[in-house]
Amino acid sequence: MYTFVIQVDRKPGLSDPEGATTARALHDLGFTGVEHVSFGRTITIDIDAENSHDALATVESMCAKLLANPVIEHYTIDATS
């Protein structure tokens, strides 16, 4: 069993409405030092594979086909085991 943690974030320069709304709300609450807020998602996947190379290749394929939108997002994959 192999475990991977995938971090998906918006590509630099693209709008992040959730982050902008949160930044404004933090300012309204008195947190005036907040310069920037961005949201992403973290996905943890446990996968059964013959070896770590095959497991990573499968997770990369999952990211390309479903887990991340390559037009507006980028992702990183970290193995935890």
Q: Which domains are delineated in the chain? A: 2-79 (3.30.1280.10)
| Per-residue pLDDT tens digits for 36-80 | 899 999 999 999 999 999 999 999 999 999 999 999 999 999 998
pLDDT for the residue 15:
86
pLDDT band at 12 (very low <50, low <70, confident <90, very high): confident
pLDDT over threshold 80, residue 81 = no
**Entry pTM:** 0.81
Q: How far apart are CA 36 and CA 45, in angstroms?
A: 29
DSSP structure string for the chain: -EEEEEEEEEPTTS--HHHHHHHHHHHHTT-TT------EEEEEEEE--SSHHHHHHHHHHHIIIIIS-TTTEEEEEEE--
Mean pLDDT within 6-30:
93
